[in-house]
Structure 1
Amino acid sequence: MSIEQEARRAIVTAGDSGIGRATAVALAAAGIDVGLTWHTDREGAEETAAEVRAHGARAVVAQLDVADIPACGDVIDGLIAELGGVDVFVNNAGTGTQTPFLELTLDQWNQVIDTDLTGAFVCLQRAARAMVAAGRGGRLIAVTSVHGHQPMVGSNAYDAAKHGLEGLMKNLALELGGSGISAVSVAPGEIATPMTGQTDEDPHQADRPGIPLGRPGDAREVAALIAFLASPEAAYISGASIAIDGGMLQMGPQAGAAIQSHDWRTV
Protein backbone atom coordinates (compact mmCIF):
# COMPACT_ATOMS: atom_id res chain seq x y z
CA MET A 1 0.00 0.00 0.00
CA SER A 2 1.10 3.54 -0.69
CA ILE A 3 -0.35 6.44 1.31
CA GLU A 4 -2.59 7.21 -1.66
CA GLN A 5 -4.52 3.96 -1.16
CA GLU A 6 -7.56 3.48 1.02
CA ALA A 7 -6.88 2.66 4.67
CA ARG A 8 -8.56 -0.46 6.02
CA ARG A 9 -7.43 -0.64 9.65
CA ALA A 10 -6.81 2.07 12.24
CA ILE A 11 -5.85 2.25 15.90
CA VAL A 12 -6.99 5.16 18.07
CA THR A 13 -5.61 5.45 21.60
CA ALA A 14 -7.91 6.79 24.34
CA GLY A 15 -10.96 6.02 22.24
CA ASP A 16 -13.33 5.86 25.20
CA SER A 17 -14.43 9.52 25.10
CA GLY A 18 -13.88 12.96 23.64
CA ILE A 19 -11.68 13.33 20.58
CA GLY A 20 -10.75 9.65 20.61
CA ARG A 21 -14.34 8.45 20.50
CA ALA A 22 -15.32 10.94 17.81
CA THR A 23 -12.27 9.92 15.75
CA ALA A 24 -12.98 6.20 16.01
CA VAL A 25 -16.56 6.78 14.85
CA ALA A 26 -15.49 9.09 11.99
CA LEU A 27 -12.99 6.51 10.74
CA ALA A 28 -15.61 3.76 10.98
CA ALA A 29 -18.01 5.91 8.95
CA ALA A 30 -15.29 5.99 6.28
CA GLY A 31 -15.28 2.19 6.19
CA ILE A 32 -12.19 1.63 8.36
CA ASP A 33 -11.97 -1.09 11.04
CA VAL A 34 -10.85 0.39 14.36
CA GLY A 35 -8.82 -0.83 17.30
CA LEU A 36 -9.37 1.50 20.24
CA THR A 37 -7.94 1.68 23.72
CA TRP A 38 -9.11 2.74 27.15
CA HIS A 39 -7.24 3.46 30.36
CA THR A 40 -9.86 3.57 33.13
CA ASP A 41 -13.21 3.79 31.32
CA ARG A 42 -13.93 0.38 29.86
CA GLU A 43 -17.64 1.13 29.62
CA GLY A 44 -16.92 4.23 27.56
CA ALA A 45 -14.71 2.21 25.22
CA GLU A 46 -17.42 -0.40 24.74
CA GLU A 47 -19.90 2.36 23.91
CA THR A 48 -17.47 3.67 21.29
CA ALA A 49 -17.05 0.16 19.90
CA ALA A 50 -20.81 -0.17 19.58
CA GLU A 51 -20.92 3.06 17.55
CA VAL A 52 -18.10 1.80 15.34
CA ARG A 53 -19.95 -1.46 14.68
CA ALA A 54 -23.15 0.45 13.94
CA HIS A 55 -21.30 1.86 10.92
CA GLY A 56 -20.54 -1.66 9.72
CA ALA A 57 -16.88 -1.56 10.73
CA ARG A 58 -15.04 -3.96 13.01
CA ALA A 59 -14.09 -2.80 16.51
CA VAL A 60 -11.38 -4.24 18.75
CA VAL A 61 -10.94 -2.92 22.29
CA ALA A 62 -7.91 -3.11 24.62
CA GLN A 63 -6.80 -1.52 27.87
CA LEU A 64 -3.75 0.73 27.55
CA ASP A 65 -1.73 2.70 30.07
CA VAL A 66 0.60 4.77 27.88
CA ALA A 67 2.77 5.56 30.90
CA ASP A 68 3.48 1.83 31.39
CA ILE A 69 6.69 1.77 29.38
CA PRO A 70 7.54 -0.31 27.37
CA ALA A 71 4.53 -2.57 28.01
CA CYS A 72 2.27 -0.02 26.27
CA GLY A 73 3.92 -1.03 23.01
CA ASP A 74 2.92 -4.65 23.52
CA VAL A 75 -0.73 -3.57 23.64
CA ILE A 76 -0.31 -1.87 20.27
CA ASP A 77 1.35 -4.98 18.86
CA GLY A 78 -1.61 -7.04 20.10
CA LEU A 79 -4.15 -4.75 18.46
CA ILE A 80 -2.21 -4.82 15.19
CA ALA A 81 -2.20 -8.62 15.26
CA GLU A 82 -5.90 -8.78 16.01
CA LEU A 83 -6.77 -6.32 13.24
CA GLY A 84 -4.46 -8.06 10.78
CA GLY A 85 -2.34 -4.96 10.30
CA VAL A 86 -2.53 -1.19 10.70
CA ASP A 87 -2.80 1.54 8.09
CA VAL A 88 -3.57 4.51 10.37
CA PHE A 89 -2.33 5.09 13.90
CA VAL A 90 -3.81 7.96 15.89
CA ASN A 91 -1.85 8.78 19.04
CA ASN A 92 -4.54 10.52 21.08
CA ALA A 93 -3.92 9.48 24.70
CA GLY A 94 -2.59 12.24 26.92
CA THR A 95 -2.63 13.92 30.30
CA GLY A 96 -1.58 17.20 31.88
CA THR A 97 -1.27 19.19 35.07
CA GLN A 98 -1.82 22.83 36.00
CA THR A 99 1.04 23.38 38.45
CA PRO A 100 3.46 26.33 38.69
CA PHE A 101 7.01 25.46 37.68
CA LEU A 102 8.45 26.07 41.15
CA GLU A 103 5.89 23.71 42.71
CA LEU A 104 5.98 20.95 40.08
CA THR A 105 7.27 17.67 41.50
CA LEU A 106 9.49 15.26 39.63
CA ASP A 107 6.76 12.61 39.88
CA GLN A 108 4.25 14.97 38.24
CA TRP A 109 6.76 15.84 35.53
CA ASN A 110 7.54 12.18 34.83
CA GLN A 111 3.86 11.19 34.67
CA VAL A 112 3.10 13.78 32.01
CA ILE A 113 6.29 13.22 30.00
CA ASP A 114 5.88 9.43 30.13
CA THR A 115 2.26 9.64 28.98
CA ASP A 116 2.44 12.44 26.43
CA LEU A 117 5.90 11.88 24.94
CA THR A 118 7.81 8.73 25.90
CA GLY A 119 4.76 6.47 25.76
CA ALA A 120 3.72 8.13 22.53
CA PHE A 121 7.18 7.37 21.10
CA VAL A 122 6.86 3.68 22.02
CA CYS A 123 3.37 3.33 20.54
CA LEU A 124 4.19 5.26 17.37
CA GLN A 125 7.33 3.18 16.88
CA ARG A 126 5.43 -0.12 17.16
CA ALA A 127 2.84 1.08 14.65
CA ALA A 128 5.53 2.37 12.27
CA ARG A 129 7.50 -0.88 12.44
CA ALA A 130 4.37 -2.82 11.48
CA MET A 131 3.68 -0.44 8.59
CA VAL A 132 7.23 -0.71 7.25
CA ALA A 133 7.19 -4.51 7.56
CA ALA A 134 3.88 -4.72 5.68
CA GLY A 135 5.14 -2.48 2.89
CA ARG A 136 1.79 -0.76 2.42
CA GLY A 137 2.75 2.66 3.73
CA GLY A 138 0.47 4.32 6.26
CA ARG A 139 -0.47 7.34 8.32
CA LEU A 140 0.85 8.36 11.72
CA ILE A 141 -1.30 11.09 13.27
CA ALA A 142 -0.54 12.60 16.68
CA VAL A 143 -3.11 14.65 18.56
CA THR A 144 -0.87 17.29 20.10
CA SER A 145 -2.16 20.70 21.24
CA VAL A 146 -1.91 24.41 20.56
CA HIS A 147 0.50 24.17 23.51
CA GLY A 148 2.88 22.42 21.15
CA HIS A 149 3.08 25.88 19.55
CA GLN A 150 2.51 28.29 22.44
CA PRO A 151 2.88 27.86 26.23
CA MET A 152 0.49 28.52 29.09
CA VAL A 153 1.31 29.38 32.69
CA GLY A 154 1.24 26.23 34.84
CA SER A 155 1.40 23.80 31.91
CA ASN A 156 5.16 23.28 32.10
CA ALA A 157 5.34 19.50 31.67
CA TYR A 158 2.44 19.44 29.21
CA ASP A 159 3.96 22.19 27.08
CA ALA A 160 7.35 20.46 27.06
CA ALA A 161 5.82 17.11 26.12
CA LYS A 162 3.67 18.53 23.34
CA HIS A 163 6.57 20.54 21.91
CA GLY A 164 8.59 17.31 21.97
CA LEU A 165 5.85 15.29 20.29
CA GLU A 166 5.50 17.92 17.57
CA GLY A 167 9.24 17.66 16.94
CA LEU A 168 9.12 13.87 16.88
CA MET A 169 6.37 13.87 14.25
CA LYS A 170 8.41 16.20 12.02
CA ASN A 171 11.33 13.80 12.27
CA LEU A 172 9.11 10.82 11.45
CA ALA A 173 7.99 12.59 8.28
CA LEU A 174 11.67 12.74 7.24
CA GLU A 175 12.66 9.22 8.22
CA LEU A 176 9.57 7.29 7.18
CA GLY A 177 8.52 9.10 4.02
CA GLY A 178 10.62 6.73 1.93
CA SER A 179 8.41 3.89 3.16
CA GLY A 180 5.25 5.69 2.09
CA ILE A 181 4.37 6.70 5.66
CA SER A 182 3.19 10.24 6.39
CA ALA A 183 3.36 11.85 9.83
CA VAL A 184 1.09 14.72 10.82
CA SER A 185 0.27 16.54 14.06
CA VAL A 186 -3.24 17.78 14.81
CA ALA A 187 -3.09 20.59 17.37
CA PRO A 188 -6.47 21.30 19.01
CA GLY A 189 -7.25 24.39 21.02
CA GLU A 190 -10.03 24.30 23.61
CA ILE A 191 -12.31 21.41 22.70
CA ALA A 192 -15.45 20.55 24.67
CA THR A 193 -14.43 17.15 26.09
CA PRO A 194 -14.17 15.48 29.52
CA MET A 195 -10.49 16.51 29.64
CA THR A 196 -11.51 20.18 29.62
CA GLY A 197 -14.36 19.60 32.09
CA GLN A 198 -17.03 20.01 29.42
CA THR A 199 -18.55 16.54 29.18
CA ASP A 200 -21.74 16.52 27.08
CA GLU A 201 -21.71 20.33 26.77
CA ASP A 202 -22.70 21.98 23.50
CA PRO A 203 -19.70 24.09 22.45
CA HIS A 204 -21.91 26.17 20.18
CA GLN A 205 -23.69 27.50 23.27
CA ALA A 206 -20.51 28.51 25.12
CA ASP A 207 -19.07 32.03 24.96
CA ARG A 208 -15.31 32.42 24.59
CA PRO A 209 -14.40 36.07 23.97
CA GLY A 210 -10.69 35.21 23.70
CA ILE A 211 -11.21 32.89 20.71
CA PRO A 212 -11.88 34.60 17.36
CA LEU A 213 -14.69 32.15 16.51
CA GLY A 214 -16.14 32.84 19.97
CA ARG A 215 -16.62 29.26 21.19
CA PRO A 216 -14.79 26.03 22.05
CA GLY A 217 -14.42 23.34 19.41
CA ASP A 218 -16.50 20.19 19.02
CA ALA A 219 -14.66 16.85 19.22
CA ARG A 220 -16.38 15.86 15.98
CA GLU A 221 -14.70 18.79 14.22
CA VAL A 222 -11.29 17.46 15.25
CA ALA A 223 -12.33 13.94 14.24
CA ALA A 224 -13.38 15.18 10.81
CA LEU A 225 -9.90 16.64 10.29
CA ILE A 226 -8.25 13.38 11.37
CA ALA A 227 -10.52 11.35 9.08
CA PHE A 228 -9.54 13.62 6.19
CA LEU A 229 -5.85 13.16 7.00
CA ALA A 230 -6.40 9.40 6.89
CA SER A 231 -7.99 9.63 3.43
CA PRO A 232 -6.31 9.32 0.00
CA GLU A 233 -7.05 13.03 -0.60
CA ALA A 234 -4.55 13.94 2.15
CA ALA A 235 -1.77 11.71 0.83
CA TYR A 236 0.72 14.54 0.28
CA ILE A 237 0.42 16.10 3.74
CA SER A 238 3.37 15.13 5.95
CA GLY A 239 5.47 16.87 8.56
CA ALA A 240 2.79 19.50 9.13
CA SER A 241 1.16 20.59 12.37
CA ILE A 242 -2.43 21.63 11.74
CA ALA A 243 -3.99 23.84 14.41
CA ILE A 244 -7.73 23.44 14.91
CA ASP A 245 -8.37 26.14 17.47
CA GLY A 246 -10.93 28.65 16.22
CA GLY A 247 -8.10 31.11 15.57
CA MET A 248 -6.81 31.04 19.16
CA LEU A 249 -3.14 30.99 18.19
CA GLN A 250 -3.53 34.26 16.31
CA MET A 251 -4.56 36.10 19.49
CA GLY A 252 -1.07 36.80 20.86
CA PRO A 253 -0.65 40.54 20.16
CA GLN A 254 -4.41 41.15 20.31
CA ALA A 255 -4.80 39.45 23.68
CA GLY A 256 -1.62 41.01 25.02
CA ALA A 257 -2.92 44.47 24.24
CA ALA A 258 -6.27 43.70 25.88
CA ILE A 259 -4.96 42.28 29.19
CA GLN A 260 -5.10 44.94 31.91
CA SER A 261 -3.95 43.03 35.00
CA HIS A 262 -1.20 40.64 36.02
CA ASP A 263 -3.66 37.88 36.98
CA TRP A 264 -2.53 35.79 34.02
CA ARG A 265 0.83 35.18 35.76
CA THR A 266 -0.71 32.72 38.25
CA VAL A 267 -2.51 29.42 37.79
Structure 2
Amino acid sequence: MSDHHPRLAVVTGADSGIGRAVAQLLATEGYDVGLTRHEDAEGVARTVEEVERRGQRAFVEDFDASDPEAGDVVDRLVDRLGGLGVLVNVAGTGHSSRVMDLTLETWRHVLATDLDGPFLTSQHAARHLVAAGRGGRIVNVTSVHEYLPRLGAAAYCAAKAGLGALTKVLALELGEHRITVNSVAPGEIATEMTGMETQEAYHQDRPGNPLGRPGHVNEVAALVAFLASPSSAYVTGSTLTVDGGLGLMAAHGHDQAGSGWREV
Protein backbone atom coordinates (compact mmCIF):
# COMPACT_ATOMS: atom_id res chain seq x y z
CA MET A 1 0.00 0.00 0.00
CA SER A 2 1.38 3.42 -0.89
CA ASP A 3 2.44 6.05 1.60
CA HIS A 4 0.04 8.98 1.96
CA HIS A 5 0.86 10.49 5.32
CA PRO A 6 0.59 14.30 5.31
CA ARG A 7 3.69 16.51 5.24
CA LEU A 8 3.16 17.68 8.79
CA ALA A 9 5.87 16.97 11.36
CA VAL A 10 6.52 17.48 15.06
CA VAL A 11 10.20 17.74 16.05
CA THR A 12 11.13 17.88 19.74
CA GLY A 13 14.34 19.59 20.83
CA ALA A 14 14.35 21.78 17.73
CA ASP A 15 16.00 24.80 19.37
CA SER A 16 19.52 23.69 18.40
CA GLY A 17 21.78 21.00 16.97
CA ILE A 18 20.26 17.89 15.44
CA GLY A 19 16.68 19.01 16.10
CA ARG A 20 17.17 22.27 14.22
CA ALA A 21 18.86 20.48 11.31
CA VAL A 22 15.98 17.99 11.11
CA ALA A 23 13.38 20.77 11.13
CA GLN A 24 15.24 22.65 8.39
CA LEU A 25 15.58 19.61 6.16
CA LEU A 26 11.96 18.54 6.61
CA ALA A 27 10.89 22.09 5.72
CA THR A 28 13.04 21.85 2.58
CA GLU A 29 11.15 18.63 1.79
CA GLY A 30 7.83 20.48 2.05
CA TYR A 31 6.83 19.77 5.65
CA ASP A 32 5.13 22.23 7.97
CA VAL A 33 6.79 21.73 11.34
CA GLY A 34 5.69 21.88 14.96
CA LEU A 35 8.69 22.63 17.19
CA THR A 36 9.34 22.33 20.89
CA ARG A 37 11.59 24.45 23.05
CA HIS A 38 12.75 23.80 26.58
CA GLU A 39 14.63 26.92 27.67
CA ASP A 40 16.24 28.35 24.52
CA ALA A 41 13.65 30.78 23.14
CA GLU A 42 16.27 32.52 21.00
CA GLY A 43 17.42 29.22 19.52
CA VAL A 44 13.96 28.04 18.57
CA ALA A 45 13.21 31.45 17.04
CA ARG A 46 16.15 30.87 14.68
CA THR A 47 14.72 27.47 13.76
CA VAL A 48 11.32 29.06 13.04
CA GLU A 49 13.05 31.60 10.81
CA GLU A 50 14.83 28.81 8.89
CA VAL A 51 11.59 26.87 8.39
CA GLU A 52 9.64 29.94 7.24
CA ARG A 53 12.47 30.95 4.92
CA ARG A 54 11.82 27.64 3.16
CA GLY A 55 8.19 28.61 2.64
CA GLN A 56 6.72 26.37 5.34
CA ARG A 57 4.69 27.01 8.49
CA ALA A 58 6.30 26.67 11.93
CA PHE A 59 4.63 26.49 15.34
CA VAL A 60 6.32 26.41 18.75
CA GLU A 61 5.22 24.97 22.10
CA ASP A 62 7.07 24.81 25.41
CA PHE A 63 8.17 21.31 26.32
CA ASP A 64 9.79 19.59 29.28
CA ALA A 65 10.45 15.98 28.28
CA SER A 66 10.64 14.94 31.95
CA ASP A 67 7.12 16.22 32.71
CA PRO A 68 4.45 13.53 33.27
CA GLU A 69 2.22 15.50 30.88
CA ALA A 70 4.94 15.74 28.19
CA GLY A 71 2.78 14.01 25.58
CA ASP A 72 0.28 16.87 25.59
CA VAL A 73 2.68 18.96 23.50
CA VAL A 74 1.95 16.67 20.56
CA ASP A 75 -1.80 17.31 20.90
CA ARG A 76 -1.24 21.07 20.97
CA LEU A 77 1.02 21.04 17.92
CA VAL A 78 -1.25 18.69 15.96
CA ASP A 79 -4.13 21.10 16.58
CA ARG A 80 -2.05 23.98 15.23
CA LEU A 81 -0.66 22.03 12.27
CA GLY A 82 -4.04 20.58 11.35
CA GLY A 83 -2.80 16.99 11.41
CA LEU A 84 0.30 14.84 11.74
CA GLY A 85 2.44 12.66 9.51
CA VAL A 86 5.79 12.41 11.30
CA LEU A 87 7.08 12.62 14.87
CA VAL A 88 10.82 13.03 15.47
CA ASN A 89 12.00 12.72 19.08
CA VAL A 90 15.30 14.57 19.49
CA ALA A 91 15.03 16.25 22.92
CA GLY A 92 17.27 14.67 25.54
CA THR A 93 19.84 15.19 28.25
CA GLY A 94 22.93 13.47 29.63
CA HIS A 95 25.15 13.28 32.69
CA SER A 96 28.73 12.49 33.63
CA SER A 97 28.95 10.53 36.86
CA ARG A 98 30.11 7.01 37.68
CA VAL A 99 27.51 4.61 39.04
CA MET A 100 28.89 4.77 42.59
CA ASP A 101 28.42 8.56 42.57
CA LEU A 102 25.18 8.67 40.56
CA THR A 103 22.28 10.00 42.62
CA LEU A 104 18.81 8.58 42.25
CA GLU A 105 17.61 12.10 41.47
CA THR A 106 19.95 12.37 38.46
CA TRP A 107 19.14 8.81 37.36
CA ARG A 108 15.41 9.54 37.41
CA HIS A 109 15.78 12.90 35.67
CA VAL A 110 17.79 11.43 32.79
CA LEU A 111 15.43 8.45 32.45
CA ALA A 112 12.40 10.75 32.56
CA THR A 113 13.82 13.09 29.92
CA ASP A 114 15.35 10.52 27.56
CA LEU A 115 12.82 7.68 27.89
CA ASP A 116 9.56 8.79 29.53
CA GLY A 117 9.35 11.86 27.27
CA PRO A 118 9.70 9.97 23.98
CA PHE A 119 7.32 7.28 25.27
CA LEU A 120 4.63 9.88 25.95
CA THR A 121 5.09 11.84 22.73
CA SER A 122 5.11 8.60 20.71
CA GLN A 123 1.97 7.41 22.48
CA HIS A 124 0.11 10.64 21.73
CA ALA A 125 1.41 10.76 18.15
CA ALA A 126 0.38 7.15 17.56
CA ARG A 127 -3.16 7.94 18.67
CA HIS A 128 -3.39 10.80 16.16
CA LEU A 129 -1.84 8.77 13.34
CA VAL A 130 -4.06 5.73 13.92
CA ALA A 131 -7.19 7.88 14.12
CA ALA A 132 -6.32 9.62 10.85
CA GLY A 133 -5.77 6.27 9.12
CA ARG A 134 -3.15 7.53 6.67
CA GLY A 135 -0.04 5.84 8.02
CA GLY A 136 2.89 7.80 9.33
CA ARG A 137 6.36 7.81 10.80
CA ILE A 138 7.93 7.94 14.24
CA VAL A 139 11.70 8.46 14.41
CA ASN A 140 13.55 8.36 17.72
CA VAL A 141 17.02 9.87 17.83
CA THR A 142 18.91 7.64 20.26
CA SER A 143 22.72 7.37 20.26
CA VAL A 144 25.42 4.80 19.63
CA HIS A 145 25.00 4.39 23.39
CA GLU A 146 21.74 2.64 22.60
CA TYR A 147 24.01 -0.41 22.29
CA LEU A 148 27.55 0.67 23.29
CA PRO A 149 28.39 1.43 26.93
CA ARG A 150 30.15 4.60 28.03
CA LEU A 151 31.99 5.31 31.26
CA GLY A 152 30.11 7.72 33.50
CA ALA A 153 26.86 7.51 31.55
CA ALA A 154 24.85 4.69 33.14
CA ALA A 155 21.50 6.52 33.15
CA TYR A 156 22.01 7.89 29.65
CA CYS A 157 22.97 4.50 28.22
CA ALA A 158 20.09 2.77 30.03
CA ALA A 159 17.61 5.35 28.71
CA LYS A 160 18.89 5.12 25.13
CA ALA A 161 18.86 1.30 25.25
CA GLY A 162 15.31 1.47 26.58
CA LEU A 163 14.29 3.85 23.80
CA GLY A 164 15.80 1.48 21.24
CA ALA A 165 13.70 -1.39 22.63
CA LEU A 166 10.59 0.81 22.82
CA THR A 167 11.13 1.68 19.16
CA LYS A 168 10.94 -2.00 18.24
CA VAL A 169 7.80 -2.65 20.28
CA LEU A 170 6.10 0.40 18.74
CA ALA A 171 7.07 -0.87 15.29
CA LEU A 172 5.45 -4.24 16.07
CA GLU A 173 2.27 -2.70 17.41
CA LEU A 174 1.80 0.05 14.82
CA GLY A 175 2.76 -1.82 11.66
CA GLU A 176 -0.83 -2.82 10.93
CA HIS A 177 -1.66 0.89 10.74
CA ARG A 178 1.11 1.57 8.19
CA ILE A 179 3.06 3.52 10.81
CA THR A 180 6.78 2.79 10.78
CA VAL A 181 8.94 3.36 13.86
CA ASN A 182 12.74 3.50 13.69
CA SER A 183 15.65 4.93 15.62
CA VAL A 184 18.65 6.88 14.39
CA ALA A 185 21.78 6.37 16.51
CA PRO A 186 24.35 9.17 16.11
CA GLY A 187 27.94 8.93 17.25
CA GLU A 188 29.85 12.07 18.15
CA ILE A 189 28.18 14.96 16.34
CA ALA A 190 29.40 18.57 16.35
CA THR A 191 26.69 20.39 18.31
CA GLU A 192 26.36 22.80 21.19
CA MET A 193 25.81 19.76 23.42
CA THR A 194 29.23 18.34 22.55
CA GLY A 195 30.88 21.73 22.90
CA MET A 196 31.58 22.26 19.19
CA GLU A 197 30.32 24.63 16.54
CA THR A 198 28.48 22.78 13.78
CA GLN A 199 31.02 23.72 11.11
CA GLU A 200 33.84 22.22 13.21
CA ALA A 201 32.68 18.72 12.21
CA TYR A 202 35.05 18.65 9.24
CA HIS A 203 38.01 20.24 11.03
CA GLN A 204 38.42 18.09 14.16
CA ASP A 205 40.70 15.06 14.20
CA ARG A 206 39.32 11.88 15.75
CA PRO A 207 42.00 9.16 15.44
CA GLY A 208 39.73 6.66 17.22
CA ASN A 209 37.07 6.96 14.53
CA PRO A 210 37.49 5.24 11.12
CA LEU A 211 36.37 8.38 9.25
CA GLY A 212 38.62 10.47 11.50
CA ARG A 213 36.21 13.29 12.39
CA PRO A 214 32.97 14.08 14.23
CA GLY A 215 29.70 14.03 12.32
CA HIS A 216 27.77 17.04 11.02
CA VAL A 217 24.17 17.58 12.13
CA ASN A 218 23.04 17.48 8.50
CA GLU A 219 24.41 13.95 8.21
CA VAL A 220 22.01 12.88 10.96
CA ALA A 221 19.12 14.92 9.57
CA ALA A 222 19.53 13.26 6.16
CA LEU A 223 18.90 9.86 7.72
CA VAL A 224 15.84 11.15 9.59
CA ALA A 225 14.48 12.65 6.36
CA PHE A 226 14.96 9.30 4.60
CA LEU A 227 12.98 7.56 7.35
CA ALA A 228 10.23 10.19 7.00
CA SER A 229 10.04 9.68 3.24
CA PRO A 230 8.09 7.21 1.05
CA SER A 231 11.45 5.61 0.16
CA SER A 232 11.60 4.02 3.62
CA ALA A 233 8.07 2.60 3.65
CA TYR A 234 9.36 -0.97 4.20
CA VAL A 235 11.84 -0.06 6.97
CA THR A 236 10.53 -0.43 10.51
CA GLY A 237 11.86 -1.49 13.90
CA SER A 238 15.40 -0.70 12.81
CA THR A 239 18.26 1.27 14.31
CA LEU A 240 20.21 3.16 11.64
CA THR A 241 23.62 4.17 12.95
CA VAL A 242 25.38 7.34 11.80
CA ASP A 243 28.70 7.34 13.63
CA GLY A 244 31.54 7.40 11.10
CA GLY A 245 32.27 3.77 11.92
CA LEU A 246 32.83 4.39 15.63
CA GLY A 247 30.88 1.26 16.54
CA LEU A 248 33.45 -0.80 14.67
CA MET A 249 36.09 0.14 17.22
CA ALA A 250 36.58 -1.16 20.74
CA ALA A 251 34.31 0.50 23.31
CA HIS A 252 36.80 3.14 24.43
CA GLY A 253 36.38 4.99 27.67
CA HIS A 254 35.95 8.69 26.94
CA ASP A 255 39.12 9.53 28.88
CA GLN A 256 41.32 7.32 26.69
CA ALA A 257 43.63 9.18 24.33
CA GLY A 258 42.28 9.44 20.82
CA SER A 259 38.84 8.05 21.56
CA GLY A 260 37.06 11.35 21.04
CA TRP A 261 33.91 10.20 22.81
CA ARG A 262 31.64 12.82 24.21
CA GLU A 263 27.96 13.07 25.01
CA VAL A 264 25.67 12.83 21.97
TM-score, length of structure 1 as denominator length: 0.92
Q: How does 1:81-160 map to 2 (within 5 A)?
A: 81-160=79-158
Q: How does 1:67-78 map to 2 (within 5 A)?
A: 67-69=66-68, 71-78=69-76
Secondary structure (helix, strand or coil) at the match of 2:84 reads coil
In structure 2, what is the Cα distance between the partners aligned to 1:173 and 1:68? Answer: 24
Q: How does 1:1-267 map to 2 (within 5 A)?
A: 4-5=3-4, 7-69=6-68, 71-252=69-250
Q: Does the 8 Å contact 1:28/1:57 carry over to 2? A: yes
Q: Does the 8 Å contact 1:7/1:231 carry over to 2? A: no
Q: Does the 8 Å contact 1:80/1:86 carry over to 2? A: yes
Q: Does the 8 Å contact 1:147/1:159 carry over to 2? A: yes
Q: Does the 8 Å contact 2:5/2:136 carry over to 1? A: no
The letter of the residue matching 1:202 is: E
Secondary structure (helix, strand or coil) at the match of 2:61 reads strand
Secondary structure (helix, strand or coil) at the match of 1:61 reads strand
Secondary structure (helix, strand or coil) at the match of 2:36 reads strand
The letter of the residue matching 1:212 is: P
The letter of the residue matching 2:230 is: P
TM-score, length of structure 2 as denominator length: 0.94
The letter of the residue matching 2:250 is: G
Per-residue deviation, 1:200: 4.0
Q: Does the 8 Å contact 2:198/2:217 carry over to 1? A: no
In structure 2, what is the Cα distance between the partners aligned to 1:126 and 1:45? Answer: 22
Q: Does the 8 Å contact 2:199/2:216 carry over to 1? A: no
Closer, same or farther: CA 112–106 of 1 in aligned 2, 3 Å? same
Segments of 4+ moved more than 4 angstroms: none
The letter of the residue matching 1:119 is: G
Gaps of at least 5 residues in structure 2 are none
Closer, same or farther: CA 98–151 of 1 in aligned 2, 3 Å? same
Closer, same or farther: CA 6–129 of 1 in aligned 2, 3 Å? closer
Closer, same or farther: CA 248–209 of 1 in aligned 2, 3 Å? same
Q: Deviations over 1:194-245 (max 9, x none)?
A: 1111134421000000010000000011011111111111111100000100
Q: Deviations over 1:19-44 (max 9, x none)?
A: 00000000000001000111000111
Secondary structure (helix, strand or coil) at the match of 2:66 reads coil
Q: Does the 8 Å contact 1:33/1:59 carry over to 2? A: yes
Per-residue deviation, 1:136: 0.8
Q: Deviations over 1:70-95 (max 9, x none)?
A: x2111111001110111000010000
In structure 1, what is the Cα distance between the partners aligned to 2:191 and 2:179? Answer: 30
Per-residue deviation, 1:134: 0.7
Gaps of at least 5 residues in structure 1 are none
Q: Does the 8 Å contact 1:11/1:34 carry over to 2? A: yes
Q: Does the 8 Å contact 2:6/2:83 carry over to 1? A: no
Closer, same or farther: CA 3–252 of 1 in aligned 2, 3 Å? farther
Cα root mean square deviation, aligned: 1.7
Secondary structure (helix, strand or coil) at the match of 2:148 reads coil
Secondary structure (helix, strand or coil) at the match of 1:76 reads helix
